[in-house]
Amino acid sequence: MNILAIETSCDETAAAILKAKRGRLELAANVVSSQINIHKKYGGVVPEVAARHHLENIIPVIDEAVQAAQIKPAAIDFIATTAGPGLVTALLVGIETAKALSYAWNKPLIPVNHMYAHLAANFFNQSIQFPALALIVSGGHTEIVLLKNHHHYNKIGQTVDDAVGEAYDKAAKLLNLGYPGGPIIARLADKFSGLSPINLPRPMINSRDFNFSFSGLKTALLYTVQKMTKKEIKTRTPEICRAFQNAAVEVLVSKTIKAAKKYQVQSILLAGGVAANKKLRADLKAAAEKNNFQFRVPEFKLCTDNAAMIAIAGYYLSRKHHPQKDGWQKISADPNWEL
Amino acid sequence: MKIITNSEKETIKFAEKFSRSLKGGEVLALFGDLGSGKTAFTKGLARGLGVKNIITSPTFVLMKNYKTSAQAPIKTLTHIDAYRLKSGEDLEAIGAMEFFNDKKCITAIEWADNIKSIIPKNAIKIYFQIGENNKRQIEIKKPPVALR
């Protein structure tokens, strides 16, 4: 089975070809064209600019994927595309392209939820013991999802305000570190070792539910920085970054483990763009293994936005519902599609 | 009107009460720094309008719509976050302005100062200021009577 997947929910224009043979998945092509350098100066992704670049890149990116995989359109079994959540102007480019190809090539089209795809990246030739619990962390989402099997899932917790990736971005903005905030804060945090008097709160760490709050952490950081002189902020930036990262990661790990115990799962999965954060990967892995849970995280290149994960998700969804050829007519962008 | 709240909870309560004065079609332009209470206010607004979903930050997707179960004709709460934007044109691109002054809709815009050019003249302006000991000052400025 050959799947063509398209992803344009945010600032990456991506296409991938996945080949499935007797349950074994092979990534024949995985092309990602990033706009991150274009959006850096705006401090985030600008919808109008993103849409324009997606439009320029989408056909060359699909073309490159098809050529790299050395596959003819006739050999493609179906197309999978991100239908949400994401920026509506960006989503539309991928969806409309996928619909046009679906119609022109007479291939079924499967709409994929971007967050499900992030966690499905864990299914790529990795065995998973079910039930499993997934922590999905990105710029727009922070969610805990319980999985009965590959495609039966429900959300059991989420952020009640800011997503963790957004908290990193806003912390970086408070410290004048630019956009995106995740990589730079992680890098600076590594530069500080030793004891620090800065102690930031771990919001909702003891709440009974499995929700998160990162808005309060941001406010606490603001109060901390307000008490310092400009010079002090500059010299102590690595220390502040470390305090921030420690707080954010500790809450994520603690709540995930608590949920895993309550639901008596076999394994813990980490997914989403923030899963590229080394400290989160290492700390969650250590905590999971200490408590005898199997731990899974996708390889780095499958954590950030890509189309390979859309193809993997499409593959598992197609096993649940056989895709229909006229399916494209009913598919539209859903920028707030919840898991 | 100016009030002081002593905690996030009080800000939410205040907004909940404020929501009952809304008739539909209002645009609320919220001004204030990071952590000054804009999102807390929107959460209270949602609670007052009977939104069942959890209100999360729309910074990333810029706009989120929620179904309300409020007094007629209000059916939707549109939550917009202009934090990352430099001008109103970016919001036009995602169709946000369709909701402004629509009778069925209450629109709350965080970081309204970033997109001043497209804030309607009849918007209710709400200013948030951080005080000491978690205190927040909230000032509500209604548009001139002729524009209401």
Residue B70 has what pLDDT? 83
Please enumerate in sequence order all residues whose Cβ is within 8 A of that of A104, keeping only pairs 6 or more positions apart, or say none.
Answer: none
Q: Could you report the per-residue pLDDT of B7-29, keeping only the tens digit for each?
A: 999 999 999 999 999 999 999 99
- Which residue reads 């997109």 in tokens? B115
Q: Which residue has the higher pLDDT, A213 or A324?
A: A213
Tokens of A126: 């990795």
- Which residue reads 């630019």 in tokens? A178
pLDDT surpasses 80 at A217: yes
Residue A324 has what pLDDT? 85
Q: CATH number of the domain at A2-120+302-330, out of 3.30.450.20, 3.40.50.300, 3.30.420.40, 3.10.129.10?
A: 3.30.420.40
Q: Pairing mode, if any, of strands B76-81 and A24-34? A: unpaired
Question: Which residues from B are below 8 Å from A158, CB to CB?
Answer: 54, 56
| Residue-averaged pLDDT of chain A | 94
Q: What percentage of chain A carries pLDDT values higher than 70? A: 99
Cis peptide before A180 (omega within 30 of 0): yes
| Domains of chain B, earliest start first | 2-137 (3.40.50.300)
pLDDT surpasses 70 at B88: yes
Question: Which candidate from B56, B59, B93 shows the least CB-CB separation from A89?
Answer: B93
pLDDT band at B95 (very low <50, low <70, confident <90, very high): confident
Interface membership of A163 toward B (CB under 8 Å): yes
| CATH fourth-level superfamily of A129-297 | ATPase, nucleotide binding domain (3.30.420.40)
**φ, ψ at A273 (rounded to 5°):** -55, -40
ipTM: 0.81
What is the number of other CB atoms lying within 10 angstroms of the CB of residue A292?
A: 7
Q: In degrees, to the nearest 5, what angle opens at C-alpha A56 toward C-alphas A51 and A57?
A: 95
Please enumerate in sequence order all residues whose Cβ is within 8 A of that of A86, keeping only pairs 6 or more positions apart, or say none.
Answer: A8, A9, A10, A114, A140, A333, A335, B61
Residue B29 has what pLDDT? 97
pLDDT surpasses 90 at B60: no
Q: Is A309 helix (H, G, I), strand (E, B) or coil?
A: helix
Q: Could you report the per-residue pLDDT of A270-304, keeping only the tens digit for each?
A: 999 999 999 999 999 999 999 999 999 999 989 99
- Which residue reads 């997947």 in tokens? A5
Residue A257 has what pLDDT? 98
CA distance A133 to B123: 45
Q: Is A268 helix (H, G, I), strand (E, B) or coil?
A: strand
Question: CB–CB of A163 and B84 under 8 A?
Answer: no
- Helices A278-290 and A237-262 cross at an angle (nearest 10°) of 30
Enumerate residues 122 to 141 of chain A having a beta carbon within 8 A of any beta carbon in chain B: 139-140
Q: Could you report the per-residue pLDDT of A70-124, keeping only the tens digit for each?
A: 999 999 999 999 999 998 889 999 999 999 999 999 999 999 999 999 999 999 9
Same fold, A2-120+302-330 and A129-297: yes
DSSP structure string for A202-256: -TTTT-SSS-B--HHHHHHHHHHHHTS-HHHHHHTHHHHHHHHHHHHHHHHHHHH
Residue B148 has what pLDDT? 66
Beta-bridge partner residues of A6: A15, A81
Query: How is chain A split into domains, by residue range?
Result: 2-120+302-330, 129-297
Q: Could you report the per-residue pLDDT of A158-199, keeping only the tens digit for each?
A: 999 999 999 999 999 999 998 889 999 999 999 999 899 999
Q: What percentage of chain B carries pLDDT values higher than 70? A: 99
Question: Which residues from B are below 8 Å from A215, CB to CB?
Answer: 35, 39, 57
Tokens of B116: 């001043």
CA distance to A79, A84, A92, A312, B32, per residue, from A100 (Å) = 11, 18, 12, 22, 45
